[in-house]
Amino acid sequence: MLQNHKLSAVLVMLMLMLLGCKSDESVSFDPLPKQNDSNDPLDKYLYAEFQQTFNCMVRYRFVNRYVDDSKRVTPPDRSLVQPYMDFLKDHWVHPYLESGSGSETLIRKLFPAEIVLIGSPMYNLDGTVTLGTADAGVRITLTEVNDFDLENLNWKISQLHVMQHEFSHIIHQKYDLPDNYQKISEGDYTGSGWTIKDYSEMLRLGFVTPYASSDPNEDFAELVSNLLTLPESFFYERFLDINRNELGVLWAETDDGNADPEVVRGKLRIQEKYEAVQKYFKEVLDIDFEMLRTNTLARLFPPSVVSQEKELAASYQN
């Protein structure tokens, strides 16, 4: 859907589109069949790769009860289901399997019982767009499958951002948030007001996106998903380096040459949250977060696209 391959376009889309996470609703799902009686090659593939391996049922046939009646959607193109799930396995599952025993244990333990695939975004009655949902740690719904394009870095980043975001919700639903995480930006959460906030304003308050400011759960999920999908150097310059402004430009190169204390304060808050995430993954989940991050980004930005990554980061304007 995004054709200009600009990192800015990805980030703006992720900031403005509602992820629609339902973190504490109960949800019912069909029990997994003990065997696959289908002769359909696609069903056999999904059974072997996801149901037998991770106890996960992949739902690609459109069923009304998997989507709220208030949302308008298009079913996924059947021919794209297997390549899409291969992409998800390669870029989301494998980094967890490769990042130590604790990481592998987590992905196997918390793998959602259901993954529901939607071809289009989920269009809401209020004009917003839902990119994904996580329901009570049981079901993850992913959208825009019909835009599948492995040559489109925008699409890949967007899809993985949603998956990492929703899986982060499953993690904190099981193990709670890092200790005192919600106190770092206490008093600055905006609730539904995030939709009228911009990136620059939110960074000054210590959030990586406006949506992160809606509540502590979304703050955690947005931070983790951005850390696992944005180029490391880009994330550092934009969100952590206090020697640079909110656009990643050195203060000395700005018009007045002076640091904005509110931007510096916001970046220090993000650094504090980042350190809390690292500690949480290590002490609670037994995962080296930096190893997981390295392995994840290596698949998203292999050497063949490193030059493109640098160009994308340099092109970002808000």
Q: Looking at residue 22, what DSSP letter applies?
A: B
Q: Does 65 or 287 have the greater pLDDT score?
A: 287
Residue 301, Cβ density class (10 Å: 0-12 exposed, 13-18 middle, ≥19 buried): buried
Stated pTM of the model: 0.85
Q: Residue 306 belongs to what H/E stretch?
A: helix 306-315
Over residues 190-196, the mean pLDDT reads 83
Mean pLDDT across the chain: 85
Give me the phi and psi of 54, to 5 degrees please. -125, 10
Query: How does pLDDT run across 210-268, given as a tens digit for each residue?
Result: 999 999 999 999 999 999 999 999 999 999 999 998 888 899 888 888 999 999 999 99
Tell how many helices (H) and how many strands (E) occur in the chain. Answer: 13, 6
Degrees, nearest 5: CA angle 154-159-164: 125
Query: How does pLDDT run across 42-58, given as a tens digit for each residue?
Result: 999 999 999 999 999 99
The per-residue pLDDT for 192 is 80
Percent of the chain whose pLDDT exceeds 90: 64
**Whose CA is closest to 120, among 142, 139, 140?**
142
Q: Does 66 or 45 have the greater pLDDT score?
A: 45
For the chain, percent helix, then strand, then coil, each to nearest 5? 55, 10, 40
The per-residue pLDDT for 313 is 52
Residue 64 has pLDDT above 70, yes or no: no
| Pairing verdict, β 129-130 and 122-123 | antiparallel
For residues 216-254, b (16+ Cβ closer than 10 Å) or e, as one string?
Answer: bbbbbbbbbbbbbbbbeebbebbbeeeebbbebeebeee
Residue 193 has pLDDT above 90, yes or no: no
Instruction: Fold for 176-318, please state it.
Output: Collagenase (Catalytic Domain) (3.40.390)
Under the banding of pLDDT at 50, 70 and 90, the label for residue 36 is low
d(CA 16, CA 72): 18
Residue ranges with strand state E in the chain: 57-59, 114-117, 122-123, 129-130, 132-135, 139-142
Q: Residue 250 pairs with which residues in a beta bridge? A: 244
CATH topology identical between 18-24+31-163 and 176-318: yes
| Full DSSP string of 52-93 | HHHS-EEE-S--GGGS-TT-B--PPPHHHHHHHHHHHIIIII
The per-residue pLDDT for 137 is 75
Maximum CA extent, the chain: 70
Using DSSP's 3-state secondary structure scheme, residue 251 falls into helix
Residue 13 has pLDDT above 80, yes or no: no
The per-residue pLDDT for 238 is 94
Residue 199 contacts residue 318 (beta carbons within 8 Å): yes
Residue 15 has pLDDT above 60, yes or no: no
Percent of the chain whose pLDDT exceeds 70: 83
Query: How does pLDDT run across 68-96, given as a tens digit for each residue?
Result: 777 788 899 999 999 999 999 999 999 99
Under the banding of pLDDT at 50, 70 and 90, the label for residue 126 is confident
What six digits make up the tokens of 141? 């719904």
Using DSSP's 3-state secondary structure scheme, residue 302 falls into coil
The per-residue pLDDT for 264 is 96
18-24+31-163: CATH class: alpha beta
Domain boundaries defined on the chain: 18-24+31-163, 176-318
Q: Does 82 or 196 have the greater pLDDT score?
A: 82
Residue 283 has pLDDT above 90, yes or no: yes
